[in-house]
Structure 1
Amino acid sequence: MTGETDLRTLLSDMRPELNPGRYVFTMAEGGVPSGVSPVVTVAEPEGLTLVVSQADADAAGMAYDYVAGWITLRVHSALAAVGLTAAVSRALADADLSCNVVAGFHHDHLFVPYEQAERAVEILRRLAA
């Protein structure tokens, strides 16, 4: 199934959805600890970055300093689409909100400061309107 590439359609159909919970970025030495279920993994030369629920990180004794809300853009975006990440990032940057973007095969996922996650969703809804 091919994803959408038209920027106007991507923006108008993005339907941002705030996933429940708090998420953190942490590092895993020697692989993913038992009992931890990452929602994102990134292998870097410095080690394995994990995005996990704050509860999993706390239970495993993993260090972190950024607690995020996880927003999923429900539009099926093509990996080759141009401009969606830029438009979303710009709208959030203009509101002084950090945004860490991860592209999945079907959807884009945004990690924003937890305390500002609902505000971020509203900003994205206005962008879509």
Structure 2
Amino acid sequence: MNAERDLTRLLAGMRPELDPGRYVFTTVAGPAPAGVAPVVTVAEDEGLTLVVRQEEADAAALPYDYVAGRITLRVHSALDAVGLTAAVAGALAGAGLSCNVVAGFHHDHLFVEHARAEQALAVLERLMAGDIGDTRGRS
């Protein structure tokens, strides 16, 4: 499957999917502890950021203060595609929703406040249908 670059096709084909889990952001000084399988890692000067399932963080006594829902955009977006992240973040911001975006090789993954994840999914579905904004030349 070829990665998509066209913004109109990216938005129309997003197919956002909400994972039923609860995810948290935490940081450790070394590698991830035993029993913790991060879905995202980011190496920063201050330590290794991990995005993990909440139950794994709790079992490993890892601190966190933000619980997120994970929405995967099922469209295979090219890493050099222009505008998808901006369109998604703009639509969510317009609804008062924060969003932490992580680009994988095949898909973009959005981490949104868990308590409002269903609302975020509905916003993305409206964006996909062209019902939000004028991002595809529609009024």
Match in the other structure for 2:70 = 70
* Structure 2 unaligned spans of 5+: 130-139
For the pair 1:101 / 2:81, whether they are aligned, the reply is no
Alignment of structure 1 residues 54-65 onto 2, 5 Å: 54-65=54-65
**Matched residue pairs, number?**
129
Match in the other structure for 2:136 = none
Match in the other structure for 1:92 = 92
Output the TM-score relative to the length of structure 1.
0.98
**How much identity, in percent, do the aligned residues show?**
71
| Whole-Å separation in 1 of the counterparts to 2:128 and 2:24 | 27
Letter matched to residue 103 of structure 1: A
Runs of 4+ in 1 over 6 A off after TM superposition: none
| Whole-Å separation in 2 of the counterparts to 1:38 and 1:28 | 12
Alignment of structure 1 residues 24-39 onto 2, 5 Å: 24-39=24-39
Letter matched to residue 48 of structure 1: L
Match in the other structure for 2:45 = 45
Q: Which has the higher strand share?
A: 1
| Whole-Å separation in 2 of the counterparts to 1:14 and 1:65 | 29
Match in the other structure for 2:15 = 15
Letter matched to residue 41 of structure 2: T
1:29 positional shift:
1.9
For the pair 1:5 / 2:25, whether they are aligned, the reply is no
| Whole-Å separation in 2 of the counterparts to 1:31 and 1:38 | 10
Output the TM-score relative to the length of structure 2.
0.91
Question: Greater CA radius of gyration, 1 or 2?
Answer: 2
| Whole-Å separation in 2 of the counterparts to 1:102 and 1:21 | 17
